[in-house]
Amino acid sequence: MGCKVIVSGTVQGVGFRYFTCMEARLYNLTGHAKNLASGDVEVVMYGEGQKIAKMIKWLEQGPKTSRVAGITVSDVAYLEKNDFVPY
């Protein structure tokens, strides 16, 4: 399963991508977290549906250093990846 989440709020310059990678690795998800020019963060993840659902729940709050205003979730085609990385 693949999923893309756009996270808005105070999510850049606060370690959001780093903490997202650490959390995603706990769930054995692969994919990436990337800053967007809009100030949002794009999180693309691949893995088991239940684990992705848990990660989405985590993204609704984000790390303590951030302030998540909202998320947008969409499905994406599955791609084979080896790790979860920040861009």
Task: Write down all domains in the chain, each with its CATH number in brackets.
Answer: 10-86 (3.30.70.100)
Contacts for 78 with CB less than 8 Å, ≥ 6 apart: 1, 2, 46
Contacts for 9 with CB less than 8 Å, ≥ 6 apart: 62, 66, 67, 68, 69, 70
pLDDT digits (tens, 9 = 90+) for 15-42: 999 999 999 999 999 999 999 999 999 9
Compute the mean pLDDT over every residue in the chain, rounded to the nearest whole number: 96
The Cα 16–Cα 36 span in angstroms is 12
Question: Which residues are catalytically annotated?
Answer: 17, 35
Q: pLDDT band for position 87 (50/70/90)?
A: confident
